[in-house]
Chains A and B, each alone.
Chain A
Amino acid sequence: MKNSVGAAAPPPRLRVARDVRLAWRLAQLDLRRRYAHSLGGVAWYVLSPLLTIATYYVVFGIGLKVAMPSTGPFFPFFISGMLPWLVFADAVTASTDVLTRNRDLISNAVFPLHLLPLSRLVSAFAAHLAVLTAVVILFCASGRAPGFHVIGVVYYMVGLGVLAAGFSFLLSAVNVVFSDTREILGFLLPLLFFTVPIIWPLDLVPAQWHWLINVNPMAYIVEGYRQALLYDHPISDNPLNAVAFWLIAGCIFVAGRGVFKRLQSELAELM
Chain B
Amino acid sequence: MPSQIAVALSGVTKHYRLYASIGDRIKEMVHPFRRTYHHEFWALKGVELQIERGECLGILGRNGAGKSTLLKLIAGIIKPTAGEVRVAGRIEALFQLGAGFNPDQTGRENVEMQCLIADMPRAKIAGKIDEVEAFAEVGAYFDQPVRTYSSGMFMRVAFAAAILTEPDILIVDEALAVGDIKFQHKCFGRILDFRRRGSTVLLVTHSPDLVSLHCTRGIVLDEGCVVIDGKPDQAIHHYQRILYGGPGDPAVVGVEPAAAAASGDEPLSDAAGENETARLAGIQLGSGEDRAHLRRGYNANEFRYGSGEATVLDCVAICGGQVDATQVGQGSRITFLMQIRFNADISNPSYGIVLKTIDEVRLYGTMTEMLGQSFPAVRAGDEVLVQIDVGVPLPGGTVFIDLGVARYVGDELLALDIRKSVLQFTVEFTPRWVGFCDLAATFEELARVAGIADDAADTTAAPVPRQMPVS
Contacts and interface: CB of A to CB of B under 8 A. Distances in A.
A111 interface: yes
Interface in B79-93: 79, 85-93
B98 interface: yes
A5 B117 CA distance: 12
* Interface bin, chain B: 35 or more
Q: Which of A9, A18, A22, A104 has most chain B Cβ within 10 Å?
A: A104
A1 B103 CA distance: 32
Contacts of B88: 1
Contacts of B90: 8-9, 110
B102 interface: yes
Contact of B86 (A2, A109, A177): A2
B413 interface: no
Interface string A96-111: 0000001011111111
Given A7-B76, A177-B22, A177-B25, A108 B119 contact: no
A7 B167 CA distance: 13
B104 interface: yes
A4 interface: yes
Given A3-B87, A112-B117, A178-B22, A104 B75 contact: no
Interface string B89-119: 1111101101111111100010011001111
Interface string A178-211: 1000000000000000000000000000000000
B433 interface: no
A106 B88 CA distance: 22
A230 B118 CA distance: 46
A109 B100 contact: yes
A110 B116 contact: no
Given A1-B86, A109-B93, A104 B79 contact: no
Contact-size category for A: 20 to 34
B119 A18 contact: yes
B64 to A, nearest CB: 16
A107 B103 CA distance: 13
Contacts of A108: 77, 93, 99-101
Contact of B76 (A5, A26, A29, A104): A5
Given A5-B76, A25-B113, A25-B116, 15 more contacts: A1-B87, A2-B86, A8-B76, A8-B89, A25-B112, A104-B103, A107-B95, A107-B96, A108-B93, A108-B99, A109-B76, A109-B92, A110-B90, A111-B100, A177-B22
18 contacts: A3-B74, A9-B117, A14-B119, A15-B119, A22-B113, A25-B113, A104-B99, A104-B100, A106-B77, A107-B99, A107-B100, A108-B99, A108-B100, A108-B101, A110-B90, A177-B22, A178-B22, A269-B16
Interface of B: 16, 22, 25, 72-79, 85-93, 95-96, 98-105, 109, 112-113, 116-119, 167-168, 171
